[in-house]
């Protein structure tokens, strides 16, 4: 379908939504009218973009989506035919707009800021679209909060109970993940260096460590709960183990997989083992190490939450919060906690990637994008 | 032998890891053992009471009083008064010092049968309950429960160190009429009902019913029974000088329970009150005057004994502080004495006893030794649950654990493993298909990749495992439960698996040498030919690498899904069940089993890779 | 500078012009900077001729070859391949291309690698198996049908690649430094092999190389190119008689021709 047709269809649907009876009663008519400009705006922007005009105007699409979402957030009660027209209009408009934007080739005349912004729009629109679908379905089918909460319920929890959730995040991420991650990283690195120094260990330890990667470490959680108590220490211990093995494996690989010629060159310069380690092996291992860290961060967060599930201790931490809330049917709290945990781990992941770029920007993996 | 050379280092390290289990077991177990060793509540609790003499030969015959066992620091007591004689003097000297008979008999018990007697209720309650004599011989009480639990069918029972009649509930059975004795086991003629109490008299008698005063004897009494309402007793004398100035005394058996309600201290003939009295006013931080029940005693503030005249003044039942005690401070008045140091058994009296006065104790409890054993290592061995058991303990558990449930029980280990394997494979298949499709779409439609790939990465930071309950609820609405379908397990596993598959496959589809693309261009190949003949085969090794990564994750997903659902299937449920019942060794077996399963599944994927991508160099 | 022109054949070429290059230029522009990869090239290649393009890096010899293969499009000038536009020639599968690297597909056996172009062109299964087997025999790899590429040596891999290029019997063989990555001894053996195949099949060959002895040994004509900007310096006729054998390399004429080419290469500076 050509963009202009999808734009027209979206506009038509939005218009119909205004005319067709909105719902079983008209209590939410006011809100509907408030939500309509969002659709109309999206449709309009789409129309402009479809005619090849004003790619910069297309930057407004996410804001149109956000406006539509906001309007839906305040909606309550099920929808009649008019509601569904409006909903599908929203959805089509937003999907078409996102697709349209991502198809636009980069224009060399645009400034770098604008270019970067437009590159981010498709990725940025996806969660908005997802939230829109979520909220639209929940409102449309009048799903009760106890079965599946709406976006607005989750937002409400986030704005009202944030002190509790922040404390949970502190316990989970600072006490458990950060500490465990640090210990696991340090221990894994040291063991990795030791293994790299010994051929016997390399031949014997590496296959075992690789096999250990297939062991469901979360199963250890209850055992660690016995050893370290049910408080945060046992969960930090889970993180230590989860971090330890990838770090060992990657450190060894990075230290060992050195180009023989480079090694011989340094030896020809009469470099001492320590010098070779510092000047060649360590820089060579850094990219491997960062790979392990990025993997370990994601694994740690998942494992720590499972560990909190499996070792019920004091009611603190995001995993405990999720577990407790799920048990009493407070799924809005569950989703809020999941949102926080994801947001924080994405930030940690991003931070690590940034650090990786700073420290190992010379590595070939950063040049691939040009090819 | 190259294979041997390859395997040897692995075996060496494996042996080292197993050997490492021993120090690790100690590292994790010893702190717990130390905690058991130092926690008084986990010690064996013993009771010290004044002893009645085991044999009281009539004075006329010039006999002696025999106590057994003979404690060291002791004093003889009669009717609540210490006697001024040495405990080991003969009965006549004691009688002379007491100036009255050494035994005051109580009411004569009523004889019901040869073995059953009814005593006055007070004979069996309170102090002196054990002072039942047959003639002049003290009878000992003792009963031992059956080692087996009656289930309504069982006839044979074993008892430890008991030889008398058997008691089923309150019914008395004699050997030959009711039960027979056979090779250390007691065979009852009639099965005791389910849950009833089966006991056997271990000493001279047992109290059947304290409220009714019914006592059962092990054998018919040789002499008439009597109970001593009052008898000369051997009591413990507290260490310390009674010189009119010393107030500090020590108990012999320590450490002592701090708030022992049964502790009965006597100064000569009068009982002492040691329990702290609360003030009738609240300690507000401003008030300085407090009222107590007793007019004198030790004033203790937060465990510190205050000094009269410096810290406070007494006026009647009122205590006036020089400085108001801090808000909510713990203020107590101990009228007669205070246990200042439970560890060393130190008792501080409010008033120093007169010279020559005897401070003695009728009853108190103390801790004799750690219940787990005298040494740290024994305590370690006695731990009910070892976080890391010794490897050979785990090995010993394997056979009984594997055969715990028959094959037709869902909790059978083999069936559980099979179930978990199915779940993992389903997850792997589903996640693999979704991942491949997504990767193909990404490679074909670059814009879609730009829009979605960041969120594929982000999706992995969502702790999907946290959503298991929600997912089970939602699927449950459609009638799909984990009991009837593998779908929930597969969905959760697939969510974890699809991520590496997408990333790996996209990488693989893009891994084509630019020259190879030029070559296809020189053949004027169509896009679909390019995809089917070049891109897709090139992606296969990448796909398998990702699937290997995903296998472990899928297994974790399946295990967690199983722990979260309340059915009895799968290794995940087994792990949770063993954790809850505290069988740590079994948990380790299950962990090793799931580890082997994970390794096996990865090997299976590797085998598939060999079949589907045979060109890959070893 | 000698104007290049169709010359008297030393082998057994026909007179049909297979490649006609007329004032061809190729300019790359990146971030405002322009690189002239090929400037005003003129060349005619006749049917059955063996022509080498020689020159240092950046002289445009690979560019010229890629232009002929329609892997890139010229900035200006006229180019005809087999009397058609290069694009049409590519769609009609008029040429086979051999790269510097063997570019064999890891997941295909030797036989299947040779069969790949036939598969794409829709040749029936039995026939393509037959033709691939025949070609493998021709390059001396009869016993290696079921091997995977990584199990072969570099020279053998390149022979598979040549067999693949010949598989669909194209009129024209374009070879871009096919033996550049091989050692000297293997390379000389491969040269002999290539000559043998050429004499058997009578294909027109355009051969890019940076080895003077290789060019002299193989070619009927050598197009000498110089860089900055990439252009054709002159064309050297090689009048050594075919068939050639290892002794050809030791003849006096061989050294004279090599010296001529070397001087032509130097003349560009």
pLDDT digits (tens, 9 = 90+) for C193-222: 888 888 888 888 999 988 888 888 888 888
pLDDT of residue B433: 92
Containing B228, the helix (H) or strand (E) segment is: strand B225-231
d(Cα A98, Cα A116) in Å, to the nearest integer? 15
Chains touching B by CB (3 or more pairs below 8 Å): A, C
Chains touching A by CB (3 or more pairs below 8 Å): B
d(Cα A316, Cα A164) in Å, to the nearest integer? 9
- The answer, for B7 touching chain A at a CB cutoff of 8 Å, is no
Q: Where are the domains of chain B?
A: 2-38, 110-232, 237-370, 413-612
Burial (CB count <10 Å: 0-12, 13-18, 19+), residue A273: exposed
- Examine residue B69 and say whether the peptide bond preceding it is cis (omega within 30 degrees of 0): yes
Residue from A281, A294, A274, A300 nearest A183 by CA: A300
pLDDT, average across residues A21-36: 50
* Residues of chain B above pLDDT 70, percent: 94
- Name the residue facing A122 among B10, B450, B474 (closest C-beta): B450
Does B474 contact A147 at a Cβ distance shorter than 8 Å?
Answer: yes
Beta bridge partners of B235: B75
d(Cα B192, Cα A165) in Å, to the nearest integer? 58
CA dihedral sign of residues B516, B517, B522, B525: positive
B509 is written with which tokens?
């589809």
pLDDT of residue B93: 75
pTM, rounded to two decimals: 0.69
ipTM above 0.85, yes or no: no
* Residues of chain A above pLDDT 90, percent: 2
d(Cα B420, Cα B121) in Å, to the nearest integer? 63
Q: What is the dotted CATH code of the domain comprising C14-94+179-269?
A: 3.40.50.300
Q: Where are the domains of chain A?
A: 5-143, 158-370
What's chain A's Rg over C-alpha atoms?
27
**Residue A183: pLDDT band with limits 50, 70, 90:** very high
Containing A333, the helix (H) or strand (E) segment is: helix A331-360
Task: Provide the 3-class DSSP secondary structure of residue A259.
Answer: coil
pLDDT of residue A184: 92
pLDDT of residue B337: 92
Chain A residues lying within 8 Å of B9, measured CB to CB: 200-201, 203-204
**Residue A290: pLDDT band with limits 50, 70, 90:** confident
Q: Where are the domains of chain C?
A: 14-94+179-269, 107-169
Does C120 contact B529 at a Cβ distance shorter than 8 Å?
Answer: yes
Sheet holding C33-46, edge to edge: C33-46, C17-30, C76-81
d(Cα B353, Cα B235) in Å, to the nearest integer? 18
Q: What is the pLDDT of residues B7-64, one digit of tens each?
A: 787 888 888 888 888 888 888 888 888 888 888 778 888 888 888 888 877 655 666 7
Domain spanning B413-612: CATH superfamily: MetI-like (1.10.3720.10)
pLDDT, average across residues A26-32: 51
d(Cα A215, Cα C130) in Å, to the nearest integer? 51
Q: Are C268 and C234 in contact (CB under 8 A)?
A: no
To 10 degrees, the CA torsion angle through B494, B498, B500, B505? 140
**Who contacts B204 (Cβ-Cβ below 8 Å, separation ≥6)?**
B134, B139, B140, B141, B142, B217, B218
Q: Are B347 and B337 in contact (CB under 8 A)?
A: yes
Q: What is the dotted CATH code of the domain comprising A158-370?
A: 1.10.3720.10
d(Cα B23, Cα B388) in Å, to the nearest integer? 10
Task: Provide the 3-class DSSP secondary structure of residue B386.
Answer: coil
**CA distance between the termini of chain A:** 32
d(Cα A325, Cα A144) in Å, to the nearest integer? 16
d(Cα B377, Cα C260) in Å, to the nearest integer? 94
**Min distance A301 CA to chain B CA atoms (Å):** 7
Does B458 contact A342 at a Cβ distance shorter than 8 Å?
Answer: yes
- The CB density around residue B394, as the number of other CB atoms within 10 Å, is 23
Angle between helices C125-138 and C110-120 (to 10 degrees): 130
Q: What is the pLDDT of residues B127-172, one digit of tens each?
A: 545 688 888 888 888 888 888 888 777 888 888 777 788 888 778 8
For A142: left if phi > 0, alpha if psi spans -120 to 50, otherwise beta; the answer is left
Q: What is the pLDDT of residues B529-548, one digit of tens each?
A: 888 888 888 888 888 888 88
Tell whether the model's pLDDT for residue A114 goes beyond 90. no
Q: Residue C185: how many CA atoms within 13 Å on its side-chain side?
A: 0
Q: What is the pLDDT of residues C71-116, one digit of tens each?
A: 888 888 888 888 888 888 888 888 888 888 888 888 888 888 888 8
For C140: left if phi > 0, alpha if psi spans -120 to 50, otherwise beta; the answer is left
**Who contacts B143 (Cβ-Cβ below 8 Å, separation ≥6)?**
B162, B167, B199, B200, B201, B202, B203, B206
- The answer, for B444 touching chain A at a CB cutoff of 8 Å, is no
Angle between helices A331-360 and A318-327 (to 10 degrees): 160
Q: With a CB-CB cutoff of 8 Å, which residues 324-353 of chain A face chain B?
A: 326-327, 331, 334, 337-338, 341-342, 345-346, 349
- The answer, for B171 touching chain C at a CB cutoff of 8 Å, is no
**Residue A186: pLDDT band with limits 50, 70, 90:** very high
Torsions phi, psi for A109 (to 5 deg): -75, -20
pLDDT of residue C12: 47
Angle between helices A220-228 and A282-310 (to 10 degrees): 80
Query: Which residue in chain B is spatially nearest to C118 when comparing CA positions?
Result: B523
pLDDT, average across residues C61-68: 87
- The answer, for B540 touching chain C at a CB cutoff of 8 Å, is yes
pLDDT of residue A249: 85
Q: Are B168 and B161 in contact (CB under 8 A)?
A: no
Burial (CB count <10 Å: 0-12, 13-18, 19+), residue B68: exposed
Chain A residues lying within 8 Å of B8, measured CB to CB: 204
Q: Are C61 and C24 in contact (CB under 8 A)?
A: no
Torsions phi, psi for A165 (to 5 deg): -65, -35
Q: What is the pLDDT of residues C113-168, one digit of tens each?
A: 888 888 888 888 888 888 888 888 877 788 888 888 888 888 888 888 888 888 88
d(Cα C196, Cα C187) in Å, to the nearest integer? 14
The rounded mean pLDDT for chain A is: 73
Q: Are C264 and C236 in contact (CB under 8 A)?
A: yes
Least confident of A82-86, B211-215, B321-325, B594-598: A82-86
Residue given tokens 């075992």 in the structure block? A208
Residue from C41, C69, C44 nearest C55 by CA: C41
Chain C residues lying within 8 Å of B514, measured CB to CB: none
Q: Which residues of C touch B (CB under 8 A)?
A: 69-71, 90-91, 93, 95-97, 99, 101, 103, 105-109, 116-117, 119-121, 148-150
Q: With a CB-CB cutoff of 8 Å, which residues 578-607 of chain B face chain A?
A: 579, 584, 587-588, 590-591, 594-595, 598-599, 601-602
Does B466 contact A147 at a Cβ distance shorter than 8 Å?
Answer: no
d(Cα B115, Cα B259) in Å, to the nearest integer? 40
**Who contacts C123 (Cβ-Cβ below 8 Å, separation ≥6)?**
C131, C168
Angle between helices A3-19 and A29-50 (to 10 degrees): 160
Chain B residues lying within 8 Å of A223, measured CB to CB: 387-388, 579, 584, 587-588, 591
Residue A259: alpha-carbon gap to chain centroid: 36
pLDDT of residue A74: 53
Tell whether the model's pLDDT for residue A371 goes beyond 80. no
pLDDT of residue C11: 45
Q: Are B352 and A191 in contact (CB under 8 A)?
A: no
Sheet holding B304-305, edge to edge: B304-305, B298-301, B331-334
Beta bridge partners of A236: none
Q: What is the pLDDT of residues A347-356, one digit of tens each?
A: 888 888 888 8
**Who contacts B60 (Cβ-Cβ below 8 Å, separation ≥6)?**
none
Q: Are B310 and B322 in contact (CB under 8 A)?
A: yes
DSSP for B448-515?
Answer: HHHHHHHHHHHHTTS-GGGGHHHHHHHHHHTT--TTT-SHHHHHHHHHHHHHHHHHHHHHHHT---HH
B537 is written with which tokens?
């085969």
Angle between helices A331-360 and A151-160 (to 10 degrees): 80
Q: With a CB-CB cutoff of 8 Å, which residues 105-144 of chain A face chain B?
A: 119, 122-123, 125-127
Q: Are B196 and B184 in contact (CB under 8 A)?
A: no
A246 is written with which tokens?
């990838």
Q: Please give, one letter per residue, the 3-state secondary structure of B119-188.
A: CCHHHHCCCCCCCEEECCEECCECEEECCCCCCCCCCEECCCCCCCCEEECCEEEEECEEEEEECCEEEE
Containing C28, the helix (H) or strand (E) segment is: strand C17-30
What b/e sequence results for C191-218 when a residue is b if at least 16 CB atoms lie within 10 Å of its CB, and e otherwise? Answer: bbbbbebbeeeebbbbbbbbbbbbbbbb
Beta bridge partners of B138: B133
B86 is written with which tokens?
């040495």
- The CB density around residue B375, as the number of other CB atoms within 10 Å, is 12
- The CB density around residue A358, as the number of other CB atoms within 10 Å, is 8
């Amino acid at each position: 379908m050509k963009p202009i047709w999808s734009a027209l269809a979206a506009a038509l649907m939005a218009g119909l939504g205004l005319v067709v009876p909105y719902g079983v009663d008209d209590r939410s008519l006011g809100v509907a009218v408030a939500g309509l400009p969002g659709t109309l705006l999206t449709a309009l922007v789409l129309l402009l973009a479809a005619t090849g005009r004003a790619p910069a105007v297309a930057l407004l699409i996410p804001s149109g989506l956000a406006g539509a979402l906001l309007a839906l957030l305040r909606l309550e009660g099920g929808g009649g035919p008019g509601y569904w027209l409006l909903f599908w209009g929203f959805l089509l408009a937003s999907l078409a707009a996102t697709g349209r934007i991502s198809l636009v080739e980069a224009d060399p005349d645009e400034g770098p800021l604008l270019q970067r912004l437009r590159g981010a729009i498709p990725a940025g629109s996806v969660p908005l679209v997802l939230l829109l679908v979520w909220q639209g379905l929940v409102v449309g089918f009048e799903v009760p909060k106890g079965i599946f909460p709406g976006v607005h319920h989750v937002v409400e929890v986030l704005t009202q109970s944030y002190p509790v959730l922040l404390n949970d995040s502190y316990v989970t991420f600072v006490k458990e993940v950060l500490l465990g991650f640090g210990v696991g990283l340090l221990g894994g690195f040291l063991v990795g260096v030791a293994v790299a120094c010994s051929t016997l260990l390399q031949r014997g330890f590496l296959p075992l460590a690789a096999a250990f990667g297939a062991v469901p470490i979360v199963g250890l959680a209850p055992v660690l709960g016995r050893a370290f108590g049910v408080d945060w220490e046992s969960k930090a211990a889970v993180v230590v183990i989860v971090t330890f093995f990838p770090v060992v494996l990657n450190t060894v690989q990075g230290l060992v997989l050195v180009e023989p010629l480079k090694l011989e060159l340094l030896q020809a310069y009469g470099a001492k083992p320590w010098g070779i380690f510092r000047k060649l092996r360590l820089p060579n291992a850094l990219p491997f190490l960062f790979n392990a860290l990025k993997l370990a961060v994601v694994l740690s967060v998942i494992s720590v939450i499972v560990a909190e599930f499996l070792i019920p201790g004091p009611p603190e931490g995001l995993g405990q919060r999720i577990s407790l809330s799920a048990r009493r049917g407070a799924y809005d709290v569950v989703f809020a906690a999941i949102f926080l945990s994801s947001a924080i781990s994405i930030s940690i992941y991003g931070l690590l990637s940034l650090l990786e770029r700073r420290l190992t920007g010379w590595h070939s993996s950063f040049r691939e994008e040009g090819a | 032998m190259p294979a041997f050379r390859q395997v040897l280092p692995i075996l060496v390290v494996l042996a080292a890891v197993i050997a490492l289990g021993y120090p690790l077991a100690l590292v994790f177990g010893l702190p717990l053992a130390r905690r058991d060793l130092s926690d008084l509540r986990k010690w064996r609790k013993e009771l010290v009471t004044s002893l009645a003499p085991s044999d009281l030969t009539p004075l006329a015959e010039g006999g002696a009083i025999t106590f057994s066992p003979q404690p060291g620091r002791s004093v003889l007591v009669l009717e609540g008064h210490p006697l001024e004689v040495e405990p080991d003097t003969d009965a006549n000297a004691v009688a002379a010092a007491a100036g009255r008979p050494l035994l005051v008999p109580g009411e004569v018990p009523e004889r019901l049968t040869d073995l059953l007697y009814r005593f006055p209720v007070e004979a069996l309650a309170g102090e002196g309950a054990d002072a039942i004599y047959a003639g002049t011989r003290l009878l000992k009480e003792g009963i031992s429960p059956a080692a087996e639990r009656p289930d309504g069918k069982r006839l044979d029972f074993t008892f430890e160190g008991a030889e008398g009649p058997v008691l089923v509930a309150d019914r008395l059975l004699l050997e030959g009429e009711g039960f027979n004795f056979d090779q250390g086991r007691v065979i009852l003629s009639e099965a005791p009902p389910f849950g009833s109490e089966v006991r056997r008299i271990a000493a001279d008698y047992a109290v059947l019913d304290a409220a009714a005063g019914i006592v059962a004897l092990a054998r018919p009494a040789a002499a008439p029974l009597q109970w001593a309402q009052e008898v000369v007793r051997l009591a413990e004398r507290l260490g310390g000088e009674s010189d009119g100035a010393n107030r500090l005394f020590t108990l012999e058996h320590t450490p002592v329970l701090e708030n022992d309600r049964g502790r009965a201290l006597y100064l000569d003939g009068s009982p002492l009150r040691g329990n702290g009295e609360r003030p009738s006013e609240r300690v507000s931080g401003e008030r300085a005057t407090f009222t107590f029940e007793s007019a004198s005693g030790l004033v203790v503030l937060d465990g510190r004994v205050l000094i009269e005249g410096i810290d406070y003044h007494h006026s009647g039942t009122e205590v006036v502080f020089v400085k108001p005690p801090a808000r909510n401070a713990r203020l107590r008045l101990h009228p007669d004495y205070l246990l200042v140091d439970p560890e060393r058994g130190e008792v501080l009296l409010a008033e120093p006893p007169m010279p020559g006065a005897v401070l003695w104790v009728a009853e108190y409890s103390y801790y004799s030794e750690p219940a787990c054993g005298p040494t740290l290592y024994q305590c370690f061995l006695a731990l009910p649950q070892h976080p890391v058991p010794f490897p050979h303990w785990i090995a010993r558990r394997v056979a009984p654990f594997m055969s715990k449930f028959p094959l037709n029980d869902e909790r059978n280990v083999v069936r559980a493993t099979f179930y978990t394997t199915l779940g993992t494979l389903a997850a792997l298949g589903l996640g693999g298909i979704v991942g491949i499709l997504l990767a193909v779409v990404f490679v074909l439609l670059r814009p879609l990749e730009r829009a979605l790939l960041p969120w594929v990465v982000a999706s992995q930071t969502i702790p999907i495992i946290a959503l298991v309950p929600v997912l089970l609820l939602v699927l449950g609405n459609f009638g799909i439960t984990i009991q009837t379908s593998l779908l929930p397990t597969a969905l959760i596993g697939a969510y974890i698996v699809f991520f590496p598959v997408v990333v790996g496959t996209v990488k693989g589809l893009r891994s084509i040498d630019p020259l190879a693309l030029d070559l296809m261009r020189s053949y004027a190949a169509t896009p679909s030919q390019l995809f089917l003949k070049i891109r897709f085969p090139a992606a296969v090794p990448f796909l398998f690498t990702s699937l290997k990564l995903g296998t472990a994750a899928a297994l974790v997903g399946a295990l967690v899904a199983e722990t979260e659902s309340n059915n009895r299937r799968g290794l995940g449920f087994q792990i949770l069940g063993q954790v809850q019942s505290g069988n740590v060794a079994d948990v380790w077996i299950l962990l090793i089993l799931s580890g082997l399963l994970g390794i096996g599944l990865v090997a299976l994927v590797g085998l598939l890779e060999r079949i589907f991508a045979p060109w890959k160099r070893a | 500078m000698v104007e290049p022109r169709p010359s008297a054949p030393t082998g057994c070429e026909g007179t049909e012009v297979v490649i006609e290059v007329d004032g061809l230029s190729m300019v790359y522009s990146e971030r405002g900077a322009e690189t002239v990869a090929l400037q005003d090239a003129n060349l005619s290649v006749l049917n059955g001729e063996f022509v080498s393009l020689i020159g240092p890096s950046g002289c445009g010899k690979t560019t010229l070859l890629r232009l002929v293969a329609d892997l890139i499009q010229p900035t200006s000038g006229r180019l005809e391949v087999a009397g058609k536009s290069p694009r049409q020639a590519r769609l009609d599968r008029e040429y086979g291309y051999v790269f510097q690297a063997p570019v064999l597909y890891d997941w295909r056996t030797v036989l299947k690698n040779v069969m790949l172009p036939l598969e794409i062109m829709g040749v029936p299964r039995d026939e393509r198996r037959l033709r691939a087997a025949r070609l493998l025999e021709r390059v001396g790899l009869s016993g290696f049908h079921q091997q995977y590429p990584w199990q072969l040596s570099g020279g053998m891999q390149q022979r598979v690649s040549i067999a693949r290029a010949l598989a669909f019997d194209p009129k024209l063989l374009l070879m871009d430094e096919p033996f550049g990555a091989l050692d000297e001894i293997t390379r000389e053996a491969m040269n002999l092999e290539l000559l043998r195949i050429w004499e058997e099949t009578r294909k027109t060959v355009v051969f890019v190389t940076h080895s003077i002895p290789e060019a002299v040994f193989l070619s009927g004509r050598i197009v000498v190119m110089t860089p900055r900007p990439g252009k054709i310096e002159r064309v050297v006729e090689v009048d050594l008689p075919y068939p050639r054998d290892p002794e050809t390399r030791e003849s006096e004429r061989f050294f004279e021709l090599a010296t001529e080419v070397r001087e032509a290469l130097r003349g560009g500076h």
